């Protein structure tokens, strides 16, 4: 009996959380932050109820900063209300003083959405459940010194090599490179959050079934969120 009740509660909470996510949408899937430009993000409320939204910027865990460091930036305003079937635009401001100026830095923007209770529900609020949902976006802080990115040039300057059935891809550019797909001949490499992105001036290792390949196809996510495809032939040593 307890197991059935526990399962029912999980299903209820899951459905409410999906409702919140489906009704709040963002106009971007990632943010390329340019210090000299106005950087904004728009939150859309597609529901019939208002939402309270909190926006917060945090360091990426790999940025080698102290946990006690101040947050790298703010959203203006950081807390706002989005009316039903409406939108709200908040500005993102980042302090780049503690970030390197010769390469991109990865930050995260957290968007917390809290649904409001309808007037009719407020009368029975003791029986109502309000579930908050959170979206996390990657924010790529791009210093002014490298703001002119040529995506074709970045892809053309990748280097590859095989070692012990591992494909090693080296990123020689100051930009993050995010893969949506890597195919070696007919072998599709399994990608996850940790190995789908290569940091500036670094490399990533991918285990493969074979010790060599003649054709490699890469699908890379561009600045605007589109997918850019590139094929390499006989370029892996």
Give per-residue pLDDT as tens, 21-35. Answer: 568 999 999 999 999
Stretch 31-47: mean pLDDT: 95
Asked if residue 112 lies in contact with residue 58, where contact means CB atoms within 8 angstroms, the answer is no
The secondary element (H helix, E strand) that includes residue 7 is helix 2-23
For residues 186 and 214, give the distance between their C-alpha atoms in angstroms, rounded to a whole number: 10
Q: For residue 112, what pLDDT is reported?
A: 95
Q: What is the pLDDT of residues 48-75, one digit of tens each?
A: 999 999 999 998 766 555 555 568 999 9
**Domain ranges across the chain:** 2-145, 151-233
For the chain, what is the largest distance between any 2 Cα atoms, rounded to a whole number of angstroms?
70
CA separation (Å) from 150 to 82, 160, 172, 200? 37, 20, 13, 14
Which positions ≥6 away from 226 have C-beta within 8 Å? Answer: none
Please tell us whether the domain made up of 151-233 is placed in CATH 3.40.50.300.
Answer: no
The number of angstroms, rounded, from the C-alpha of 50 to the middle of its chain's C-alpha atoms is 25
> Please, what CATH class does the domain formed by 2-145 belong to?
mainly beta
Burial (CB count within 10 angstroms: exposed 0-12, middle 13-18, buried 19+), residue 37 = exposed
Q: For residue 14, what pLDDT is reported?
A: 38
Same CATH fold, 151-233 and 2-145? yes
Lowest model confidence (mean pLDDT) among 10-19, 57-66, 92-101, 120-129: 10-19
Residue that the structure tokens 């409001």 belong to: 116
Q: What is the pLDDT of residues 160-216, one digit of tens each?
A: 998 888 999 999 999 999 999 999 988 999 999 999 999 999 999 999 988 778 889
| Phi-psi map region of 173: left, alpha, beta (phi>0 left; psi -120 to 50 alpha) | beta
- Which of the two residues, 197 and 97, has the higher pLDDT score? 197
């Amino acid at each position: 009996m307890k197991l059935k009740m526990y399962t029912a509660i999980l299903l209820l909470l899951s459905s409410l959380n999906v409702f919140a996510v489906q009704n709040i949408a963002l106009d971007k899937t990632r943010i390329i932050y340019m210090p000299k430009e106005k950087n904004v993000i728009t939150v859309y409320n597609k529901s019939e109820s208002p939402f309270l939204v909190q926006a917060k910027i945090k360091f990426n865990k790999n940025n080698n900063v102290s946990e006690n460091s101040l947050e790298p930036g703010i959203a203006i305003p950081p807390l706002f209300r989005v009316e039903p079937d409406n939108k709200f635009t908040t500005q993102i401001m980042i302090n780049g003083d503690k970030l390197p100026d010769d390469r991109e830095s990865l930050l995260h923007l957290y968007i917390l959405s809290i649904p409001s209770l309808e007037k009719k529900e407020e009368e029975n609020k003791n029986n109502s459940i309000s579930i908050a949902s959170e979206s996390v976006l990657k924010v790529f802080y791009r210093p002014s010194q490298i703001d002119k990115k040529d995506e074709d040039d970045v892809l053309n300057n990748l280097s590859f090599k095989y070692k012990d059935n591992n494909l090693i891809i080296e990123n020689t550019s100051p930009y993050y490179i995010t893969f949506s797909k890597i195919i070696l001949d007919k072998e599709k490499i399994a990608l996850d959050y940790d190995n789908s992105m290569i940091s500036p001036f670094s490399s990533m290792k991918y285990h493969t079934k074979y010790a060599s390949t003649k054709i490699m196809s890469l699908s890379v996510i561009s600045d605007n969120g589109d997918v850019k495809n590139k094929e390499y032939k006989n370029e892996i040593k």
